[in-house]
């Protein structure tokens, strides 16, 4: 029972905290949204972003958002005494599921439009 409540709490925190923490300020979110809509940046199953097409500040956006995600994943993992890789995997699955159609995701090592 204790294991279930710990895991349940982990998923609740992940669902609530990741979007706000990973995206940071509204400006960073706007830049990320624009880069995704332009097909420059995509979500990966590892819980992180990657550059689909190098253009403009795509790499800078990816680096900034991924650092925020790394920090948040580490915080969640420590709080729930679970491996960071477990947090990354769950976050990656959720990011792929939540990616709107028309944007890129990494599937089987290939960028595909969802």
Cβ–Cβ under 8 Å, residues 76 and 35: no
What share of the chain in percent tops pLDDT 90? 72
- How confident is residue 1, by pLDDT bands cut at 50, 70 and 90? very low
Separation of alpha carbons 60 and 4, rounded Å: 39
Domain hosting residue 73, numbered range: 2-113
Query: What predicted TM-score, i.e. pTM, was given to this entire model?
Result: 0.76
Give the model confidence (pLDDT) of 39-74 as tens digits: 999 999 999 999 999 998 899 999 999 999 999 999
Please state at what angle helix 58-80 crosses helix 2-23, rounded to 10 degrees: 160
pLDDT for 2 beyond 60: no
pLDDT classification of 22: cutoffs 50, 70, 90: very low
pLDDT digits (tens, 9 = 90+) for 76-101: 999 999 999 999 999 999 999 999 99
Total domains in the chain come to: 1
Average pLDDT on 22-45 reads: 85
Higher per-residue confidence, 85 vs 22: 85
The pLDDT of residue 27 is 80
């Amino acid at each position: 029972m204790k294991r279930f409540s710990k895991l349940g709490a982990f998923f609740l925190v992940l669902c609530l905290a990741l979007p706000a923490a990973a995206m940071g300020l509204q400006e960073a979110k706007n830049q990320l949204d624009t880069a995704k809509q332009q097909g420059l940046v995509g979500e990966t199953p590892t819980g992180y972003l990657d550059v689909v097409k190098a253009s403009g500040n795509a790499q800078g956006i990816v680096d900034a958002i991924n650092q925020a995600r790394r920090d948040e994943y580490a915080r969640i993992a420590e709080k729930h005494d679970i491996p960071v890789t477990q947090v990354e995997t769950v976050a990656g699955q959720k990011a792929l599921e939540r990616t709107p159609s028309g944007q890129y995701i990494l599937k089987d090592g290939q960028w595909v439009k969802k």
